[in-house]
Amino acid sequence: MHRVIISGIGVEIPEPSITNEELVDSFNAWVEMENVRRQASGETLLQKSDSAFIVHASGVQTRHVIEREGILDPTRMAPRIPARPDDALSLEAEFGIASARKALDHAGVEPSDIDLVICSASHHQRPYPAIAIEMQQAMGTKGAGFDMGLGCSSAAAALHIAVNLVRAGAHRRVLVTTPEIITGHLNFRDRQTHFIFGDASVSMVVEGLAQGDKRPGRFEVLDTRTWTQMSNNIRTNLGYYTRTAQDDPYMINLEGNLIKQVGNKVFKEVTVAGHQFIVEFLAEHGLTPQAIRRFWLHQANARMNAMILKLSFGHEVGHDRAPMVLDRLGNTAGAGAVVALSENHADMNAGDYGLLCAFGAGYSIGGALLRML
């Protein structure tokens, strides 16, 4: 059994950003137009949104996106992402490669040193060819590649697989990449979810630790864990069979098929499950939350993270113990916890423990117990 480390981490954040105020102005302009139609037809009128509601509900102040003008156009309310020819690099592969190259540089390795690429994200641009295989060709990595996903736990689940493949000797060095272009699937006309998500891409290089190699400043992965439980409280129905349910299968109706969630149930149930997962996972290693120097949790909801940690510690903990990037990036699905890790580890000392933990639709939870070398 090999010791395994995360030798490189890379993060790519798109430059365009949208503030709460900008998003609310667009949403409310659409509501006004839609309510004129609804009033004429006798339908229930829609409620406007406001920035105070968004901050209270999520803690999000702003988010970065692949494309902002289409999102803010009240007659469209979706990013404008032009189609590319089949022989051109796809947007998801391009976004994944942007963070992957940074991770390779951080690890001090070349693409040819990688023998497996795992592209794990909550939403993939297409079913096949796999985005990971496209990245493999474009970057010049060796071996193989495959796509996978587990909602917002996608990066943690892929890390679980990569670590155990390296530990078992099946692969020498694995690139895990999570390019999250979640605004392409978001319903910006849904008051409950239009403000939650942003776009980001993260990558990690996972490899064995050679005997006698110290690798200071890197993290050894002591253990990983995944947990799932079926729930429809976070769901999307847009899939490969969507067209078959339509009267005209060549005119796809997106209504009701995009991301939807029952926010209050998600908050309560994931808070309980997340707390239980963390405490039990650490206990398997003879550790308590107090022994962990830093928690890099899924960046979905500031209040939920605070509650999970309060239940785990018995008291409130601050940004130093559990850093948040949610306020400026929004919920970047599988990428968020890795962004928090990338930005908040340089001050840790050798021997310090850290816990990467993400929660997602399914429900799903993925965790990795790390120790600074």
CB 116 within 8 A of CB 174: yes
152 classed as catalytic = yes
Work out the number of other CB atoms within 10 angstroms of the CB of residue 132: 25
Q: How far apart are CA 152 and CA 119, in angstroms?
A: 13
Is the sign of the CA dihedral 105, 106, 111, 117 positive or negative? negative
What gap in Å lies between CA 170 and CA 61, rounded to an integer? Answer: 43
Starting at the edge strand found earlier in the chain, the sheet holding 200-208 runs 144-148, 116-120, 173-180, 200-208, 4-12, 219-228, 364-372, 353-360, 294-297
Cβ proximity of 166 and 172 under 8 Å: yes
d(CA 117, CA 284): 30
CB 162 within 8 A of CB 205: no
Q: Give the whole-angstrom CA distance, residue 265 versus residue 271.
A: 10
The sign one gets for the Cα dihedral 95, 198, 31, 37 is positive
Minimal CA–CA distance to 285: which of 237, 347, 355, 372? Answer: 355
Among the options 31, 71, 104, 152, which is catalytic? Answer: 152
Task: Please tell me the distance from the alpha carbon of residue 5 to that of residue 207, in angstroms, as a whole number.
Answer: 6
Catalytic residue list: 152
